[in-house]
Amino acid sequence: MRNILVLLGIICFWMFSPESYSLVGIGAGQAGFWAIIVLILFSLGIILALQVVATAREHNQAVFQDAGSFPHSTWALVLGFSALIGSTLFASTGILVRAGFTFNEVFYYRFPNFAFAFLLLAVLIAIHWFSPKVYLRLHAMFVLISVSSLVFLVVYGLLTENVSAEPSWSTGNASFASLVPLVIVFIGFEQMFFANIRKPGSSSYMYGIVIIATLVLAGWMFVSLKFVPAERLGSSTISYMTAAMHVMGQKGRLIMGMAIIAGACGAVSGLLRISCRYVETICGNKISPYVRMVAPPLLGIIIAALMSAGVAGSDKLEVYIRGSLLLWLIYSSLFVLAAAFHLRDTKRFYVITGFVFSSVIIVCALIMIILLEEREILTMFIVWSLAGSTLCVLLLKQMYRLLAFLESAYNYKEMNK
Give the pLDDT confidence of 185-213 residue by residue, as tens digits: 998 887 766 555 455 456 677 888 899 99
- Mean pLDDT value of segment 55-68: 60
pLDDT at 268: 94
Average pLDDT over residues 8-27: 90
Apex 70 CA angle, 11 and 188, nearest 5:
15
254 CA to centre of own chain: 24
Query: String of b and e for 349-380 (b: at least 16 CB within 10 Å)?
Result: ebbebbbebbebbbebbeebeeebeeeeebee
Q: Is residue 49's pLDDT more than 60? A: yes
CA separation for the pair 136, 273 (Å, rounded): 10
pLDDT over 90 (residue 218): yes
Give the C-alpha distances (Å, rounded to integers) separating 31 from 176, 177, 213, 214, 368. Answer: 9, 10, 20, 17, 16
pLDDT at 409 over 80: no
Please state the rounded mean pLDDT for residues 235-258.
Answer: 89
Sign, Cα dihedral of 370, 374, 376, 377 = negative
The mean pLDDT value of the chain amounts to 83
> What is the pLDDT at residue 287?
62
Across 57-71, 125-139, 309-323, least confident range: 57-71
pLDDT at residue 63 greater than cutoff 80 = no
Mean pLDDT, residues 142-158 taken together: 94
Q: Please say if the pLDDT value at position 312 is more than 90.
A: no
Please tell me the predicted confidence (pLDDT) of residue 291: 74
Residue 87 pLDDT exceeds 80:
yes
Amino acid at 146: S
The span from the CA of 397 to the CA of 400, in Å, is 5
Judge whether residue 286 has pLDDT over 70: no
pLDDT band at 68 (very low <50, low <70, confident <90, very high): very low
In order of start, what are the domains of the chain with their CATH numbers?
Answer: 2-415 (1.20.1740.10)
Confidence of residue 67 (pLDDT cuts 50, 70, 90): very low
| pLDDT at res. 4 | 76
- pLDDT of 172 > 60? The answer is no
Which residues have a Cβ under 8 Å from the Cβ of 299 and sit 6 or more positions away?
85, 88, 89, 125, 272, 275, 276
What is the predicted pLDDT for the residue at 285? 61
Overall average pLDDT of the 17-33 stretch: 90
Q: What is the pLDDT of residue 69?
A: 56
Report the pLDDT value the prediction gives residue 6, as an integer from 0 to 100.
78
The CA distance from 284 to 399, in Å, is: 10
pLDDT at site 352: 87
List, for residues 126-139, the tens digit of each pLDDT value.
998 888 888 888 99
Average pLDDT in the 335-348 region? 80
Contact in structure between 65 and 278 (CB atoms under 8 Å): no
Rounded to an integer, the average pLDDT of 220-248 is: 87
Check residue 200 and give its pLDDT.
Answer: 46
* Residue 92 · residue 311 · CB < 8 Å: no
pLDDT over 90 (residue 155): yes
Task: Give the Cα separation of 198 and 178 in Å (integer).
Answer: 38
Inform me whether the pLDDT recorded for 124 exceeds 80: yes
Report d(CA 87, CA 184) in Å as an integer: 12
Highest mean pLDDT: which of 210-214, 280-284, 310-314? 210-214
Residue 98 CA, distance from chain mean position: 16
